[in-house]
């Protein structure tokens, strides 16, 4: 059976076939496996690996975060917890090694039969409104957020823990807006009366009725499954557990997924995942890469087909100013653009109207640091439009950073804190030099934080004239304390008319 699995060639793409009699029907299979037998064997391998995984995670979780240390001091807990539980966890790890080895021998070959993402389709009573082409205008909204849902022990590298509680809180934040009845009206705002007004909003909650939710760093499978469960009553289409594990499709052993997660109101017609081959250091153990998704952006089954393209990126190399790492990030962006073009060429049909083409994710570099000069001039910014950017090393006056290194954001008034320049200096990471040191020139005013989370878009020439207008760009602070990033949101207004 294992020999047959290794010989079986599987494609990483599922798509709507040309000439399909039911173009609006769902074509993606939900399970990553073609049958229940393979799915059961895969689950058995995971069960055998879990005791060792859990023991190792608990050992790393003995390190305290700042919040846990303060809580221990307040309640005067015993500081010898690590000395008592550490040896017991180490003993469990050693005793579970034989079953883990057996599970690994079963788990690795299964990757050859596994599609590199799971898909969930929920039949909901509420559907997006029909957009007839040509016709009236249509708004599409997007949210991108790095949620840092690593196993507890690894999340503490970012001074975060309690993965299960944070996943529940993030899911609650994302669904609160979906449960509200109306969409917040767009508005402009200013920084301290000194900066020019723009289509920017600093908001605490996530906007209601978001069409596409794109999350990064959902590395823990339990967290991904929990988010899928929380979002499924509101989003009909969810792509999660994205990544090629083991040695499948990659040059190094992958023990963590790509961390990418997508929830959509609109039907997913095709999805493709590609893994970066140039991972370094600890990032080489995760299957970071690019998730490409084609959706039907019009719920009508008529012609022409109104399509949307959404590309979600998670670069391998973490924020670091060293030239070698900058070159790796540039290479990853270049590969991403080539994969985007290949995906579009593969799935395009004559007469398709591309309503939107959005590229989003945590890029791990900013547009204000001299240490990120190489990435700031990349080709992606000539092909896609960044609403917050004027040019290299120059953001729009209303843009703010999205990196929260200190995790000290006060949950009482995070919006008011970031609207004030002193608050941004305190809680947002500042620009860096080539050697990684803080940039002393950033001490002047206006002060810019490191904006490493992006939502880019571009227009496509089609048979129907479409105009794309930026309606609002949002910086969302509701995840303060749950992540070390500020989430970002984008609303695009599309108007269609005959040429």
At residue 490, φ and ψ (nearest 5 deg) are -140, 135
pLDDT on residue 20: 37
Q: Of 273, 488, 305, which is closest to residue 402 (Cα–Cα)?
A: 488
Q: Which one-letter DSSP state was computed for residue 431?
A: P
**pTM exceeding the 0.75 threshold for the entire prediction:** yes
pLDDT on residue 22: 39
Q: For residues 263 and 279, is the Cβ–Cβ distance under 8 A?
A: no
Domain segments of the chain: what residues?
36-108, 118-497
Q: Of 3, 27, 1, which is closest to residue 294 (Cα–Cα)?
A: 27
Please give the class, per CATH, of domain 118-497: alpha beta
pLDDT on residue 283: 78
Alpha-carbon distance values, 93 to 96, 100, 164, 179, 256 (Å): 5, 9, 22, 43, 19
Q: Which helix (H) or strand (E) holds 224?
A: helix 221-231
pLDDT on residue 342: 94
pLDDT on residue 327: 87
Query: Which active-site residues does the annotation give?
Result: 485
The 10 Å Cβ neighbour count of residue 252 is 13
Q: For residues 141 and 170, is the Cβ–Cβ distance under 8 A?
A: no
pLDDT on residue 463: 60
Please give the Cα distance from 362 to 223 (Å, whole number).
19
pLDDT on residue 15: 41
End-to-end CA distance of the chain: 58
What contacts 425, CB < 8 A, 6 or more positions away? 447
Structure tokens at 41: 């064997």
Report pLDDT digits (tens) over 10-37.
333 444 333 333 344 446 888 899 999 9
pLDDT on residue 168: 93
Structure tokens at 405: 């290194």
pLDDT on residue 430: 82
Give the length of the chain.
Answer: 499
Q: Coil, strand or helix: which one is 389? A: strand
Q: On the CB side of 171, how many CA atoms lie within 13 Å of its CA?
A: 22
Phi-psi region of 274 (alpha: psi -120 to 50; beta: other; left: phi over 0): beta
Q: Coil, strand or helix: which one is 337? A: helix
Q: For residues 165 and 71, is the Cβ–Cβ distance under 8 A?
A: no
In this prediction, the residues of the chain whose per-residue pLDDT falls under 70 are: 1-27, 67-82, 129-130, 132-135, 177-198, 249-251, 299-304, 316-323, 406-415, 434-436, 441-445, 462-463, 497-499
Pairing state of beta strands 353-362 and 306-313? parallel
């Amino acid at each position: 059976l294992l020999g047959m699995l290794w010989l079986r060639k599987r494609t990483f793409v599922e798509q709507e076939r040309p000439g399909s009699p039911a173009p609006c029907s769902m074509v993606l299979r939900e399970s990553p496996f073609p049958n229940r037998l393979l799915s059961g064997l895969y689950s058995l391998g995971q069960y055998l690996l879990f005791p060792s995984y859990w023991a190792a995670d608990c050992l790393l979780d003995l390190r305290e975060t700042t919040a846990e240390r303060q809580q221990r001091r307040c309640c005067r807990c015993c500081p010898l917890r690590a000395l008592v539980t550490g040896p017991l966890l180490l003993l469990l790890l050693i005793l579970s090694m034989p079953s883990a080895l057996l599970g690994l021998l079963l788990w690795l070959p299964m990757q050859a039969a596994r599609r590199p993402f799971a898909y969930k389709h929920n039949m909901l009573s509420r559907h997006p409104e029909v957009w007839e082409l040509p016709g009236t205008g249509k708004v599409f909204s997007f949210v991108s957020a790095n949620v840092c849902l690593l196993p507890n022990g690894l999340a503490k590298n970012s001074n975060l823990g309690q993965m299960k509680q944070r996943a529940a809180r993030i899911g609650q934040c994302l669904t609160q807006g979906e449960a509200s009845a109306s969409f917040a009206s767009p508005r402009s705002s200013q920084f301290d009366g000194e900066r020019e007004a723009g289509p920017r909003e600093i908001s605490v909650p996530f906007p209601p009725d978001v069409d596409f939710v794109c999350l990064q760093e959902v590395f823990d499978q339990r967290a991904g499954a929990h988010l899928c469960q929380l979002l499924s009553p509101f989003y009909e289409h969810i792509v999660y557990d994205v990544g090629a594990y083991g040695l499948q499709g990659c040059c190094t052993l992958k023990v963590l997924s790509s961390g990418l997660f997508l929830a959509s109101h609109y039907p997913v017609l095709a999805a493709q995942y590609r893994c970066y081959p140039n991972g370094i250091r600890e990032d080489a153990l995760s299957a970071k890469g690019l998730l490409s998704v084609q959706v039907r952006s019009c719920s009508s089954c008529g012609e022409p087909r109104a399509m949307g393209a959404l590309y979600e990126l998670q670069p391998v190399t973490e924020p670091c100013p060293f030239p070698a790492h900058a070159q790796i990030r540039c290479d990853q962006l270049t590969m991403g653009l080539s994969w985007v073009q290949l995906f579009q060429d593969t799935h395009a049909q004559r007469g398709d109207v591309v309503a939107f083409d959005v590229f989003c994710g945590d890029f791990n570099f900013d547009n204000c640091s001299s240490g990120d000069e190489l990435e700031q001039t990349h080709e992606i910014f000539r092909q896609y439009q960044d609403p917050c950017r004027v040019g290299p090393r120059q953001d729009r006056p209303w843009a703010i950073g999205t990196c929260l290194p200190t995790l000290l954001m006060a949950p009482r008034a995070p919006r008011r804190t970031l609207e004030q320049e002193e608050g941004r200096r305190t809680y947002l990471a500042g620009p860096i030099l080539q050697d990684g040191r803080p940039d002393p020139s950033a001490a002047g005013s206006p002060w810019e934080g490191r904006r490493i989370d992006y939502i880019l878009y571009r227009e496509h020439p089609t048979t129907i004239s479409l105009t794309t207008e930026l309606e609002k760009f949002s910086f969302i602070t509701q995840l303060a304390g749950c992540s070390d990033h500020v989430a970002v949101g984008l609303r695009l207004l599309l108007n269609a008319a005959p040429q």
